């Protein structure tokens, strides 16, 4: 069991949403959570299938968790009849679902927030109704709470205390939203002290439970979310119920940490992130997205060379927290880590203020994800890159910038004709087949991902021309190597290797004849070193970077090589082509070679063997795809 006994998750579901509830139940099992709070209102129960729905939901939860039912009443009741209806609602819920419930939170208060309930007839009616509701719950042998959501309810709690009801309940349920301004350990102790003093005045020994809390800062502020969670967990209360959407979603950093290591993992990362930016007068190499696959390898190389490295990453992609832990474990305090998002302009500016070189890798990296949420894709890739460029434009001495773009800026290579050559596609144009795609190829942004990365690509080049930034763009083909946690949406070479090594099936989109040039990450790092070394001659230019014509594979050819390595053929199935998938793409690397002397050195066979050995020594982390929990495991398009 991961969590301690004080912890639980708060959830609310639309009646009839079985799929969402089944996911939630599955998350509870993965998290090891044994306490859950479920909210239901009169309208939920009276909906077309409300009774059958809650019967199913409570039964599904009862065998896995201790259920706290929050019975939502009128927020601002104006008439005594509201109180009578609420008592009837409580009694009906207890009659229907009592066997599945261990505790009940009575959530109702009289009158507008500014009205003193002691002077309001509705307040007297509601306090009497609450006494009846408490009795109904106690008659069933269940623990009972009343809500004391925020300071404006203190007058209501004072009335209940004066009537002796606070001595009849087991706990007060506090619900509040933690904002960025309230982080730092001050919010919960202050509020809890207020309620404890009120209880003491009325001779109540009721416990205090945080029955629903979550972080209300910016959506992309993962650091604030982790800190708010830890502060709630450390609050001097008997139980904590965190909002389920944040705690259980594997696509969120908090949910992923809780699934893999529980609150201890959240504490560990919060401590690492709390160190923030450190300045000591020396220049620092800043790597955005530095806990990703390429960033981790680059950071390790720079640190080995004795350079200071600062990583700015929001750890959104599965596996990044494992990479960060490996880096900090190996290099200790020489690694600076900033848990932040490229959309946070203040964090980007602060992290780059003393940079001597910047490597911009942070991005939304999957075509499939961009198809699901194009706005998010642009916000991260387009606006995030522009935030960085603006920070550099304001810099008194802008450092060199290396930006990793993508071959997707060339689209589907419109107008190029392809033919089958065995188990792979090849262009019918002999020169193109011999050398690959060069930088004179017209841009043709395709898919939201191609558009957002293409826009960022062009912004970097324009800021070099217009504002004199020393910036270079590398339009990369398929990179592979250690510290890559590929999934069905991105990182196809690593994904194939992982599936084959574990004996799992692979699903291919298209016919498997798609061809890419592949480049081992060590060769890419050497290209990056040379790009920075030659920045004054390369600035304002874009270069195609990949394995080139000598290092190409089709999907089916990779399957064959993995069969040779494992001694068994993976189980393969096929599905329809994905939108924007290129039949063939190979980088013409001659222009960069002529400018720097760079050439790939790692052969495909040797690179695959290196990747295989690394994967054999590393457990696979949880990696969420664009189609979360869709049953699409193992599906790949390059």
Whether the Cβ atoms of residue 314 and residue 340 lie closer than 8 Å to each other: yes
Nearest of 240, 234, 177 to residue 210 by alpha carbon: 240
| DSSP output for 579-621 | TT--SEE-B--HHHHHHH-------HHHHHHHHHHHHHHSPPP
What's the distance, CA 461 to chain centroid?
30
What's the distance, CA 494 to chain centroid?
21
Whether the Cβ atoms of residue 30 and residue 259 lie closer than 8 Å to each other: yes
Q: Over the range 71-86, which residues count as b (16 or more CB within 10 Å of their CB) and which as e? A: bbbbeebeebebbebb
In 3-state terms, what secondary structure has residue 318? coil
Query: d(Cα 160, Cα 253) in Å, to the nearest integer?
Result: 41
Query: d(Cα 420, Cα 255) in Å, to the nearest integer?
Result: 45
Nearest of 232, 150, 224 to residue 181 by alpha carbon: 224
CA dihedral 238, 243, 247, 248 (to 10 degrees): 120
Whether the Cβ atoms of residue 73 and residue 89 lie closer than 8 Å to each other: yes
Q: How many CB atoms lie within 10 A of CB 122?
A: 22
End-to-end CA distance of the chain: give it in Å, rounded.
38
Q: Over the range 416-428, which residues count as b (16 or more CB within 10 Å of their CB) and which as e? A: bebeeeeebbbbe
Nearest of 40, 19, 35, 124 to residue 90 by alpha carbon: 40
In 3-state terms, what secondary structure has residue 459? helix
Catalytic residue ranges: 449
Q: Quick one: tokens of 540?
A: 């304002």
The residues near 601 (Cβ < 8 Å, ≥ 6 apart) are 523
Q: Over the range 229-248, which residues count as b (16 or more CB within 10 Å of their CB) and which as e? A: bbbbbebebebbbbbbebbb
């Amino acid at each position: 069991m991961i969590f301690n006994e004080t912890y639980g998750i708060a959830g609310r579901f639309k009646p009839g949403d079985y799929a969402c509830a089944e996911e939630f139940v599955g998350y509870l099992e993965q998290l090891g959570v044994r306490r859950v709070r479920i909210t239901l209102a009169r309208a939920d129960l009276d909906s077309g299938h409300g009774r059958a729905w809650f019967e199913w939901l409570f039964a599904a939860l009862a065998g896995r968790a201790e259920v706290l039912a929050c019975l939502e009443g009128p927020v601002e009741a104006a008439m005594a009849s509201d109180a009578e209806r609420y008592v009837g609602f409580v009694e009906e819920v207890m009659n229907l679902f009592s066997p599945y419930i261990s505790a009940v939170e009575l959530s109702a208060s009289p009158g507008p927030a500014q009205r003193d309930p002691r002077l309001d007839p509705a307040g007297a009616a509601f306090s009497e109704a609450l006494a009846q509701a408490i009795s109904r719950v106690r008659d069933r042998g269940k623990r009972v709470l009343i809500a004391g959501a925020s300071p404006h309810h203190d007058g209501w709690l004072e009335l209940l205390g004066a009537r002796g009801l606070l001595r009849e309940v087991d706990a007060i349920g506090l619900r509040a939203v933690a904002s960025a301004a309230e982080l730092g350990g001050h919010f919960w102790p202050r509020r809890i002290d207020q309620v404890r003093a009120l209880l003491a005045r009325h001779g109540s020994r009721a416990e205090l439970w945080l029955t629903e809390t979550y972080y209300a800062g910016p959506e992309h502020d993962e650091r604030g979310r982790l800190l708010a969670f830890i502060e709630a967990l450390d609050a001097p209360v008997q139980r904590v119920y965190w909002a389920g959407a944040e705690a259980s979603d594997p696509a969120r950093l908090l949910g992923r940490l809780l699934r893999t290591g529980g609150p201890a993992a959240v504490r560990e990362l919060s401590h690492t992130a709390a160190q923030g930016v450190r300045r000591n007068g020396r220049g620092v190499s800043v790597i955005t997205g530095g806990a990703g696959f390429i960033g981790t390898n680059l950071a390790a190389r720079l640190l080995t060379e004795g350079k200071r490295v600062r990583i700015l990453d929001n750890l959104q992609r599965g596996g990044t927290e494992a990479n960060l832990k490996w880096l900090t474990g190996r290099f200790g305090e020489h690694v600076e880590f900033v848990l932040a998002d490229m959309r946070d302009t203040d964090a980007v500016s602060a992290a780059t203020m003393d940079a001597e070189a910047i490597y911009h890798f942070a991005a939304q990296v999957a075509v499939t994800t961009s198809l699901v949420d194009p706005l998010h894709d642009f916000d991260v890739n387009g606006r995030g890159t522009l935030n960085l460029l603006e920070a550099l434009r304001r810099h008194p001495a802008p450092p060199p910038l290396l930006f990793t773009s993508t071959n997707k800026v060339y689209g589907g290579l419109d107008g190029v004709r392809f033919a089958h050559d065995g188990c792979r596609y090849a262009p019918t144009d002999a020169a193109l087949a011999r050398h690959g795609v060069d930088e004179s190829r017209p841009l043709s942004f395709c898919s939201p991902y191609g558009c957002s990365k293409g826009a960022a690509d062009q912004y970097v080049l324009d800021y070099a021309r217009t504002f004199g930034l020393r910036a270079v763009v590398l339009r990369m083909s398929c990179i592979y190597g250690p510290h890559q946690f590929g999934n069905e949406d991105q990182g196809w070479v690593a994904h194939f290797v992982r599936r084959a090594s574990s004996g799992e099936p692979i699903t291919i989109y298209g016919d498997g004849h798609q061809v890419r040039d592949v480049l081992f990450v060590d060769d890419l790092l050497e290209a990056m070193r040379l790009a920075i070394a030659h920045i004054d001659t390369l600035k304002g230019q874009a270069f195609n970077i990949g394995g080139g014509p000598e290092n190409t594979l089709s999907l089916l050819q990779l399957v064959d090589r993995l069969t040779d390595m494992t001694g068994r053929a993976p189980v393969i199935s096929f599905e329809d082509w994905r939108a924007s998938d290129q039949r063939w793409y190979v980088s013409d690397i001659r222009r960069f070679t002529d400018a720097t002397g760079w050439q790939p050195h790692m052969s495909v066979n040797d690179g695959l063997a290196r990747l295989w050995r690394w994967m054999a020594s590393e457990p696979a982390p949880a990696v969420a795809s664009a189609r979360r929990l869709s049953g699409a495991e193992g599906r790949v398009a390059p």
